[in-house]
Structure 1
């Protein structure tokens, strides 16, 4: 099957991660209307940008496969990673208030997205109350995640930040029907450090420490959580229990 035909066969009804995205709670008729405005294009390859800060808001992007990072750039040219996006996440919500993208969105690996033109989405959400409610739910979730990130950077030690980061990704993979204990992190150690406000040396040292303590097992970008209770203790919070998958 050609790439074009394969893309044409993708729709919200047969998407395995639709429960994480805009289609959540929509009936088949509403899903058909949403499908009609969604654009599905070629893959984005590692390092490619979906959009850049300052560009007019055109679309929201639902990650279908792969992963992305969002980051801002200061006047001095320093980049700050603000989020990592996995399948089911929507990218671009932080730009709705200004009608311009406020950050950069870059592929961490070969990835696919569903592009949702924002003007069409606004029109459709006026017709579909459940869709508008889902948009509000996702916006609220993003605000909550931003607050948690600020708390993470302001109140935790370096080791607590890293443990919390690993537990957070564990939960995110679990919600996608994947293993919560063994997963691949597509970002580099430097990108993790940038996100957590740590140096790459600190991230590498702490990963090695947790590995030696048998809390985790590290094999390149693959992580195995061997002692979730230990990680929760380090993080200083009791997150939802990780699955045994």
Structure 2
């Protein structure tokens, strides 16, 4: 856990570029100062665990840079990817607020800077500023809405549509525009993780990728994805999602 490992100097929370997108935006200046003094930040390397299911919830984590994979261990002991965390995201708040152990594993998908805020500091801030608690309630509500939307998507959309939608989301985060107007992306995930995110088998995803290539929608080479006509992805999902 972060609190037991060597931390690195972190910038003041006043200077954090993500602050206005987080729950901490409602804090007063003296509360931000407390947060700055109390947080412990460190760099995680690719594949390094940040926290694990079953651990006590001793605090909250804030992603400063990089990408974090949130995995849930199923009944067979397999760690299934359920969510990606990006800069500005807060992790581990639910277990802390409910007094429960961690339900998920979190690991860095690449070099990632993550800050840890001890439970005592979080509770002090919640006592001083009730608006912070309301922000976390809103976050829980948003998470529930996202989970409901995913259930609807899994029940009504084809695996191909779900995968194209996932590609669009990842392209927005990790893609770049080439000089010819095409879009290129280095996938942050393995194909097995991509399959788990759309609720499909690895073999099913391989067939979807082959058909997308045959249809001229995208080219895949290892983790590199090239989309010659970016609008083609939008056209793929327009009938079920946008129509």
The TM-score normalised by the length of structure 1 is: 0.79
Deviation at 1:99, TM superposition (A): 1.7
Q: Secondary structure at the match of 1:24?
A: helix
Q: Which residue of 2 aligns with 1:127?
A: 128
CA contact (8 A) 2:66 2:113 kept: yes
d(CA) in 1 for partners of 2:79 and 2:199?
A: 12
Q: Secondary structure at the match of 2:242?
A: coil
Q: Which residue of 2 aligns with 1:164?
A: 165
Matched length: 229
RMSD of Structure 2 on Structure 1 (CA): 2.9
Larger radius of gyration: 2
Please point out which of 217, 234, 241 is paired with 1:237.
241
Deviation at 1:219, TM superposition (A): 4.9
The TM-score normalised by the length of structure 2 is: 0.79
Report matched runs for 1:22-41 at 5 Å: 22-41=23-42
Residues 156-204 of structure 1, C-alpha deviations (whole Å, 9 max, x = no match): 1110110121233345x39xxx869654331111111122112223323
Structure 1 residues 15 and 70: CA distance shift in structure 2, 3 A: same
d(CA) in 2 for partners of 1:166 and 1:27?
A: 39
Q: Secondary structure at the match of 1:8?
A: coil
Structure 1 residues 18 and 206: CA distance shift in structure 2, 3 A: farther
Residues 36-62 of structure 1, C-alpha deviations (whole Å, 9 max, x = no match): 232112x22222211221111112211
Question: Mind listing any 5+ residue stretches in structure 2 that lack a counterpart?
Answer: 1-6, 178-182
Q: Which residue of 2 aligns with 1:115?
A: 116
- Quick check: 1:77 aligned with 2:81? no
Deviation at 1:87, TM superposition (A): 1.6
Question: Mind listing any 5+ residue stretches in structure 1 that lack a counterpart?
Answer: 1-5, 240-245
